[in-house]
Structure 1
């Protein structure tokens, strides 16, 4: 009975998650810099961050946030500040000493918790995700759809997001890919830093309407 609605939700989510944004940039950076394990934990963090948006959408809090310029701006500036922070850290990367390429490929100092939190915070604080899920749960999903079914949609969205970004982590943590980025050394970090800062700026200027 709800298959048509579910397929619509799944298609819209697929188009949204495949569009490069802060989540994609963070997963790529973690995967290239710290390897598949860190990239996968970051992807799981992004997926779990979805539950934040699903929860407040089901509770109706998303509607309150969308109607309050102050709350929206608080969320927006918190997210932008976080992206600025990790972006500036990357921009300050210095050239690695000679022979450091192999050392980069063998890095294991990134904790699972740190990688997970990085993905979770990046997704959870994204106000664009707030607007996306609000639209999804108020426009696409029928308000008469049972709460349990809507919650099921939310579980799917979180799992699908985690799977997608785990695939991204798998792709960018390949030895050949990492070796290629490693040869660029600090320039890759600076490039990703510039991307994150740019996303932060774009986010900072996001308007409620």
Structure 2
């Protein structure tokens, strides 16, 4: 008779705590959601947040099937991922630096086209998917925080939880940041914020390269 292994709620709680501190710490995901919230509006920011949550599933998948370990033990693969992430963040940052003081749109009052929502989703997905820090985080979680005796089905549940929790966190931030008063301030001073965020993103890109 097959022994039924009970779901380990304590293990899930431990993972939830570790994940919360990781996702709440400032990083590329936060910077991109902040930029999308202020520059593109709530709908685009929420779409970006969902993209980030979906990107988590990418990390979970390769961690479960062992590819994450290959990436960690193959320096040149990790370096390629790191440089791609840095280049992508720098590209977004440079684009933000080009923001002009005239022609700021009232984005809060204009529906966002479906094509823009898809683009926003991909921004979140690529930002998270290329984040080497996320790669190392999930590799650590699945090799250290989670017992080797944990069933694959339970590991999948943990991964789905982290994906949903990540998306929920950034959706919450998107709603808070796009509050009417915050948006009103942005519509007057948006180009300044865009340029500041551009500098921040470029610094993050350089930081990734320097600390590699």
What per-residue deviation string (whole Å, max 9, x for no partner) do you get for residues 37-68 of structure 1?
10100000000000010001001111110111
- State whether residues 96 and 185 of structure 1, in contact with CA within 8 Å, keep that contact through their aligned partners in structure 2: no
Distance in 2 (CA, whole Å) between partners of 1:103 and 1:140 is: 46
Instruction: Name 1:106's counterpart in structure 2.
Output: 109
Length, aligned pairs only: 204
Distance in 1 (CA, whole Å) between partners of 2:95 and 2:46 is: 21
What per-residue deviation string (whole Å, max 9, x for no partner) do you get for residues 101-132 of structure 1?
x6344353571101100000000000000000
RMSD: 1.4
Q: 2:162 aligns with which of 154, 157, 160?
A: 157
Q: Report whether the alignment pairs 1:49 with 2:55.
A: yes
1:7-46 counterparts in 2 under 5 A? 7-46=13-52
Q: Report whether the alignment pairs 1:62 with 2:65.
A: no
Q: Report whether the alignment pairs 1:88 with 2:94.
A: yes
Structure 1 residue 35: Cα displacement: 1.1
Instruction: Name 1:4's counterpart in structure 2.
Output: 10
- The TM-score normalised by the length of structure 1 is 0.93
Gaps of 5+ in 1: none
Query: Which aligned segments of 4 or more residues in structure 1 are displaced greater than 6 angstroms?
Result: none
